[in-house]
Structure 1
Amino acid sequence: MTPKDIAEKAGAIMWGNDDASKWFGMELTEIDAGRAVMTLTVQPHHCNGHKICHGGVIFALADSAFAFACNSGNQNTVAQHNLINFLAPGREGDVLTAVAEELYLKGRGGIYDIHVENQDGVRIAEMRGMSRAIPGTLFEEESE
């Protein structure tokens, strides 16, 4: 299997089990080795008392993209530490896109940058995620 094939199969398995991302209304729109793209259309129930997208919703979108990117190699991986900076508000009706990209992967640790933009290219948030591999895989790879 190519790295892209592995990423697509791992992503499909994760998506099948990811009730939280589906509950938020997210969509996995792209996956490749060390990279994932997810989108979310901001609905009224995503907005806080200021009538802007709740920071927790933006974080969840970035975190989900991060999860798919860091599991794209078929090694069970979880978040060890995340830091997010909110740069602009998301508004009801916005289509937010989170792009997660692997910067570094060695041993059990990885570093990923995730940026969230709206449909106009306005940067909403930047997140840095540190991952930690744990035992197991999403699927058993066939030996050649």
Structure 2
Amino acid sequence: MDRVQEIFRGDRLIQDFGMKLIEGREGYAKVSVVVEDRFLNAHSIGHGVLLFAAADAAFALSVNAVVDAVGVQWSLNVFRAAKPGETVIGESRIIHKGRQSMVCELLVTAGDGRVLAKGQSTALPVSREAFAAGSGKKGG
């Protein structure tokens, strides 16, 4: 199975939020999610966590398409609100790929092209054995 598809299908939050994979390849990913009622905050706009989740899902797909990695830093500035019923699109592009870290540029837009948020994130390569050891599970 393609690495992007493997990560996409195996990520519980991506699945629980009903995200769709628009594009995914080594170093780049784009996902979408609809702003459903369950994602509205007390002001009846899309919750900031939904914008972050769209950006983070794309981030996870873009870096894990290259190597198994975990996110260790995020910075996301929100400029505009997501409206109920609209589609939010999260994009991530690797802008630095070193041996010990990767840095991504994040972009979150609305379906009509409005920029909702921009930021950066950093990932560290980690072996699958380290994931298994950290979770108390045996490797595999």
| Partners of 1:136 and 1:49 in 2: CA distance | 40
Match of 1:38 in 2: 31
Partner of 2:81: 89
Q: Which residue of 2 aligns with 1:62?
A: 55
Distance in 2 (CA, whole Å) between partners of 1:127 and 1:28 is: 20
2:101 to 84, 109, 112: 109
Contact 1:108–1:134 (8 Å) recurs in 2: no
The equivalent of 2:4 in structure 1 is 11
Letter paired with 2:50: V
Query: What's the TM-score, normalizing by structure 2?
Result: 0.88
TM-score, normalised to structure 1, is: 0.86
Contact 2:33 2:88 in 1 (8 A): yes
Aligned equivalents of 2:61, 2:112: Cα separation in 1: 24
Q: Which 5+ residue runs of structure 1 have no aligned equivalent?
A: 1-7, 138-144
Match of 2:18 among 2, 7, 25: 25
Deviation string 1:70-116 (CA, Å, 9 cap, x unpaired) is 1111x210101000100100011111111110100011201101101
Whole-angstrom distance in 1 between the partners of 2:52 and 2:32 = 12
Moved over 2 A (4+): none
Identity of matched residues, %: 22
SS in 2 for 1:56: helix
Q: Structure 2 unaligned segments of length 5 or more: list them.
A: 130-140
